[in-house]
Structure 1
Amino acid sequence: MQKKAEVKALLELANHHATFAVDQTLKTEGIIDLVEGEAQTRFDRRMEENGGYHRANNAYLPSADSVTTDPLPFVRYTIDFQNWRTDLHLRLRYNGITLLFEQAVSGTTRPAGGQLRITVITEQNEALELAPKTMVGPSAVVVAYVDERPFLPLLPSHSFPVVSVEELKF
């Protein structure tokens, strides 16, 4: 559980830093939207500074000082200015190496903010439902999947999804 909390804190710090990458031109028009390239760069920088991770495609590779010992696959998703009031169900699949985005299904519109649900399907086709979250504005979502081999062959491995949802800063 401590490892899960540490990975969650690492993702939240990096995601918070990434949410400042809003499009300044659109912001003057009252539209809050993320500049994806800048957001990813900011996220990568914080993952390296705070956790010693380096990105390789859609995974973060740990250093000797990182919390995890195996690569940390992830998916980023942005909920924009026009859609944050609509319920959203994200479905992801972990295939043993990569965390893949499968689908996003929109639902009911709620004036106070839509409900975000995330399901991760494991290699064994087990559906892991993360706790639902209510969106309070346009948001950056990052889901990572920790899948670590045990230190000793007799011990169980550690496998679990972690999510960070941060409102875009404006």
Structure 2
Amino acid sequence: MSVSAMLLFLLLGLVVFDADLAMHKKLEVKSLLELANHDATFAINQELKTEGIIDLNLDEAMDRFARRMAENGGYSRQGAAFLPSAASVTSDPLAFRYYYIDFQHWQRDFQLSLQYQQGNLQEVSAVFADTLRPEGGYVEVAITTEEGEELRLSPKRMVGPSLVVVAYVDEQPFVPLLSGHAFPVVSVEELKW
């Protein structure tokens, strides 16, 4: 076997390994987001609950979210990003945004458009539809990358007031010859009361 053939097989092996690594990271980040978001949705405003009003205490919810991201993934929150530790699944920060969909809006479709730029997710638009869906509205998320590519995530249905968290991973490749790992992840969790 010639040296060029061996190099070709080595390169193909690296491409397969890199693709597998990217998929693993996406699944792991999705799992981390869903676990943290699940815990965050228990942060019900207790004073309002005694008056029969169910509402999310956003400060407590985000504290719970950050604590769970640290416990399960080794990430620490800094502004609108989660910074990885040496034990984290990603090596670069996770940019994120969150939205609380309350009792007045969960039965309406929610279209969220974000722009990823210089390590941040910036809101372009956040629009609720006029039509009510008694079974719950859909959350539709679109993210425009720095290269101008629009990424659309599969719609997720809300079954009650919900906390929506969107994260975007954009990190360097395992092998410099290959493209980096960039992907969005969304978690929609109903309030737990």
Q: TM-score, normalised by structure 2?
A: 0.85
Match of 2:186 in 1: 163
Alignment equivalent of 2:166, drawn from 139, 143, 150: 143
Q: CA RMSD in A?
A: 1.0
1:137-166 CA-partner distances (Å, limit 9, x unpaired): 000011000001012210210000001110
The alpha-carbon deviation at position 102 of structure 1 amounts to: 2.0
Match of 1:19 in 2: 41
Match of 2:19 in 1: none
Q: Which ranges of structure 2 fall in alignment gaps of 5 or more residues?
A: 1-22
**For structure 1, which segment, 102-111 or 132-141, has the greater mean C-alpha deviation from structure 2 after superposition?**
102-111
Question: Quick one: distance in 2 between partners of 1:33 and 1:93?
Answer: 29
1:35-59 CA-partner distances (Å, limit 9, x unpaired): 0110010001000000000111000
Match of 2:154 in 1: 131
Corresponding residue pairs, total:
170
Aligned identity (percent) is: 62
Letter in 2 for 1:134: R
Match of 2:93 in 1: 71
Letter in 2 for 1:79: I
Match of 2:24 in 1: 2
Q: TM-score, normalised by structure 1?
A: 0.96
Question: Quick one: distance in 1 between partners of 2:82 and 2:139?
Answer: 24
The alpha-carbon deviation at position 105 of structure 1 amounts to: 1.0
Letter in 1 for 2:83: L
Question: Quick one: distance in 1 between partners of 2:102 and 2:48?
Answer: 12
Question: Quick one: distance in 2 between partners of 1:130 and 1:2?
Answer: 18
Q: Which ranges of structure 1 fall in alignment gaps of 5 or more residues?
A: none
Question: Quick one: distance in 2 between partners of 1:68 and 1:153?
Answer: 16
Q: Report which of the two has the higher share of helix.
A: 2
**For structure 1, which segment, 80-89 or 97-106, has the greater mean C-alpha deviation from structure 2 after superposition?**
97-106
SS of corresponding position for 1:90 = strand
1:120-149 CA-partner distances (Å, limit 9, x unpaired): 111112111100011100000110000010
Question: Quick one: distance in 2 between partners of 1:87 and 1:151?
Answer: 38
The alpha-carbon deviation at position 28 of structure 1 amounts to: 3.0
Alignment equivalent of 2:70, drawn from 37, 48, 53: 48
